[in-house]
């Protein structure tokens, strides 16, 4: 990267702190704008949003801040999952008591597809956002070039060094190294997910040693000490999801926030139960029902569509037993603060933490 300015300059942010994009309503325009205003990089998780809603959210963020921010999408599966058939009947039978309990119904058949990726990307491209990031794969070269030609910094997500190299080859500007502690979906795209469950502590230095691109550490970072540690390990910046989920501006249900604050270090699991894609969340009864049924779980995004009515109703009724409580292993260290106050604390803690790296403290 000899002719590239450092990542922070390219992103035009003061602190090397990225608020993770979190699809599903957590990353409200208020949260994104507050983080960017505080000198970090706010990110809109737009993976599940219709194109028009993305345009509206971008406009709202711009009303709230003139600082840089980014937008994130889910790269679609190469081979789309079957949206009808006996496997879906079987899963609907497993979920039937939950549809009844939450006073909702199974989705129509074939199950509705997710928002169209091309149309989502077009809106983001047209809006000329500062940063475009993605997970679950690699978008095609033409699209990536269009973003870069439009002046966006392009960031991909990798869970192994091999995936980091694939992203480098594809022409991204930086790579998120997503450790196994991370909350939400695994970004794994180049092989089975189990061996790609590499912890942040092990992943970041290996990624930094091999990649000729800035590495952004993600997974289990909850405070300034984690930021300092990641930087010492070779990360150019950090991306925090769970820590920002608990902030005042985050769009999740208050009972979900409470679950984060109460979580113990062993409260989460990586599961395909909610969406058909491995993701880390706090264990709850809906997760247990699906996992223990012994019925094959349809692939993403079909399983996501089958559980969506239950999860939506659960959010309406404040029922954490039937929500997808995405959270990283550090959830118990989350703080219910305004995002600006969290940013301030993170920056101060990171500055305070670094001297202890040479062993002065107990
Ligand atoms: C609720 C939630 C939703 C997430 N949604 C996305 C997403 O839409 N796109 C994405 O690239 N990463 C997503 N992630 C993963 C984050 O980018 C990041 O890897 C993770 O939050 C880092 O681990 P931490 O939660 O321990 O900080 C999500 C994480 C959470 C907790």
The CATH number for 193's domain is 3.20.20.70
Structure tokens at 348: 């101060």
Is residue 106 in a domain? no
**pLDDT tops 80 at residue 44:** yes
How many other C-beta atoms can be found within 10 angstroms of the C-beta atom of residue 107?
A: 18
Is residue 194 in a domain? yes
**Those residues with Cβ within 8 angstroms of residue 108's Cβ, 6 or more apart along the chain or in another chain:** none
User: Which ligand 1 atom is the nearest neighbour of the CA of 23?
Assistant: 8
Is residue 172 in a domain? yes
Question: Looking at residue 106, what is its pLDDT?
Answer: 98
User: Which ligand 1 atom is the nearest neighbour of the CA of 281?
Assistant: 31
Ligand 1 center from residue 348 Cα (angstroms): 23
What is the chain's length? 362
Query: Among 75-84, 232-241, 279-288, where is mean pLDDT lowest?
Result: 75-84
Ligand 1 center from residue 190 Cα (angstroms): 19
Question: Looking at residue 78, what is its pLDDT?
Answer: 85
Is residue 313 in a domain? no
Give the model confidence (pLDDT) of 85-102 as tens digits. 999 999 999 999 999 999
**pLDDT tier at 2, thresholds 50, 70, 90:** very low
Strands 215-218 and 174-178, by their bridges, are parallel
Please state, in angstroms and as integers, the Cα–Cα distance from residue 331 to each residue in 20, 146, 182, 228, 252, following that order: 14, 37, 10, 18, 14
Ligand 1 center from residue 148 Cα (angstroms): 23
Question: Looking at residue 357, what is its pLDDT?
Answer: 59
CA angle 52, 136, 84 (to 5 degrees): 75
Among all chains, which residue has been given the structure tokens 């208050």? 254
The arithmetic mean of pLDDT across residues 350-359, rounded, is: 75
Question: Looking at residue 7, what is its pLDDT?
Answer: 84
Is residue 307 in a domain? no
Q: Which domain holds residue 160?
A: 7-76+114-263+333-358
Ligand 1 center from residue 314 Cα (angstroms): 21
Structure tokens at 8: 């922070």
Give the model confidence (pLDDT) of 198-215 as tens digits. 999 999 999 999 999 999
Domain count, the chain: 1
Question: Looking at residue 341, what is its pLDDT?
Answer: 98
Helix 51-64 and helix 117-126, axial crossing angle in degrees, nearest 10: 30
Question: Looking at residue 162, what is its pLDDT?
Answer: 98
**Is the backbone of residue 60 left (phi > 0), alpha (psi -120 to 50) or beta?**
alpha
The arithmetic mean of pLDDT across residues 59-80, rounded, is: 96
Q: How far apart are CA 247 and CA 21, in angstroms?
A: 14
**pLDDT tops 50 at residue 147:** yes
Pocket test for ligand 1, best of 241, 243, 300 (most atoms within 8 A of CB): 241
Q: Which residues line ligand 1 (CB under 6 A)?
A: 20-23, 26, 45, 47, 72, 135, 157, 178, 181-184, 218-221, 239-243, 245, 326-328, 330
Strands 184-185 and 279-282, by their bridges, are antiparallel
Helices (H), ranges, 46-105: 51-64, 86-101
Is residue 69 in a domain? yes
Is residue 160 in a domain? yes
How many other C-beta atoms can be found within 10 angstroms of the C-beta atom of residue 4?
A: 13
Is residue 21 in a domain? yes
């Amino acid at each position: 990267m000899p002719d590239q300015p450092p990542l922070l300059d390219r992103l035009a942010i003061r602190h090397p702190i990225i608020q993770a994009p979190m699809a599903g309503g957590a990353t409200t325009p208020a949260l994104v704008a507050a983080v960017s205003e505080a000198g970090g990089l706010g990110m809109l998780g737009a993976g599940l949003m219709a194109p028009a809603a993305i345009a509206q959210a971008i406009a709202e963020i711009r009303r709230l801040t003139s600082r840089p921010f980014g937008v994130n999408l889910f790269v679609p599966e190469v081979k789309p999952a079957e949206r009808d058939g006996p496997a879906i009947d079987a899963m609907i039978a497993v979920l039937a008591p939950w549809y009844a309990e939450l006073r909702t119904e199974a989705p129509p058949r074939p199950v509705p597809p997710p928002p169209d990726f091309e149309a989502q990307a077009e809106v983001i491209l047209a809006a000329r956002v500062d940063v475009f990031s993605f997970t679950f794969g690699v978008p095609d070269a033409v699209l990536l070039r269009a973003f870069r030609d439009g002046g966006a910094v392009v960031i991909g997500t990798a869970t192994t060094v091999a995936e980091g190299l694939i992203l480098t080859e594809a022409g991204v500007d930086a790579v998120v190294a997503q450790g196994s502690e991370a909350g939400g979906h695994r970004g794994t795209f180049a092989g089975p997910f189990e061996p790609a469950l590499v912890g942040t502590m092990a992943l970041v230095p290996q990624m930094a040693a091999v990649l000729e691109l800035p590495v952004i550490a993600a997974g289990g970072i909850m405070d300034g000490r984690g930021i300092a540690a990641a930087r010492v390990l070779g990360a150019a910046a950090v991306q925090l999801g769970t820590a920002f989920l608990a902030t005042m501006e985050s769009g999740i249900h208050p009972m979900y926030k409470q679950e984060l604050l109460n979580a113990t270090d062993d409260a989460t699991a990586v599961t395909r139960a909610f969406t058909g894609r491995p993701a880390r969340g706090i264990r709850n009864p809906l997760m247990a029902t699906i996992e223990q049924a012994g019925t094959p779980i349809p692939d993403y995004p079909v399983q996501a569509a089958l559980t969506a009515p239950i999860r939506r109703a659960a959010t309406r009724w404040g029922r954490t037993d039937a929500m997808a409580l995405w959270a990283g292993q550090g959830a118990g260290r989350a703080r219910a603060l305004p995002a600006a106050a969290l940013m301030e604390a993170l920056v101060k803690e990171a500055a305070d933490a670094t001297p202890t790296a040479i062993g002065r403290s107990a």
